[in-house]
Amino acid sequence: METESVAAQQQHFVIRHLRESDFKTGGLRAYSAYRDLGVADATNGLAHAHVIRMITPFRPELSVRHHHDVQFQMVYCLRGWFETEFEGVGRQRLLPGSSWVQPAGIRHTVVGWSDDCELLEILMPAEHATVNDP
């Protein structure tokens, strides 16, 4: 008899179709709207994925150095552009179709985005802390 892996036992099927009303404010950053893709529900919190839409123009006072207490973080640019300065790496700009994987806990500061910017972000675990750095 074949047994299911622990990861497979913890996951179930979830489907989400695009609806503009699914973009919600009140998330981590006030300048963004977030569309939950159902990954946290499907994986019982193992991972999280959302589309991030920038809803206000970039202003320098929005730049806050911070890091995320995660095991994995990937960002993929869907539209526009997004630029971040990473500790030990320097400035990096995402363009449509480009992505980066941020090492766990890397300190970074968002330094700009286009008015039409949309990003796909995948994180592990779903629940994690974001810490503003001095």
Note whether 66 and 130 are within 8 A (CB).
yes
pLDDT score at 10: 79
The pLDDT-based confidence of 4 (bands split at 50, 70, 90) is low
- d(CA 119, CA 32) in angstroms, rounded, equals 10
- The pLDDT tens digits for 74-108 are 999 999 999 999 999 999 999 999 999 999 999 99
What percent of the chain clears pLDDT 70, i.e. is strictly above it?
93
pTM for this model (two decimals): 0.86
Mean pLDDT rounded to a whole number for the chain: 90
pLDDT score at 7: 55
pLDDT score at 1: 41
Q: What is the 3-state secondary structure (H, E, C) of 57-105?
A: CCCHHHCCCEEECCCEEEEEEEECCEEEEECCCEEEEECCCCEEECCCC
- The pLDDT tens digits for 11-42 are 888 889 989 999 998 877 888 999 999 999 99
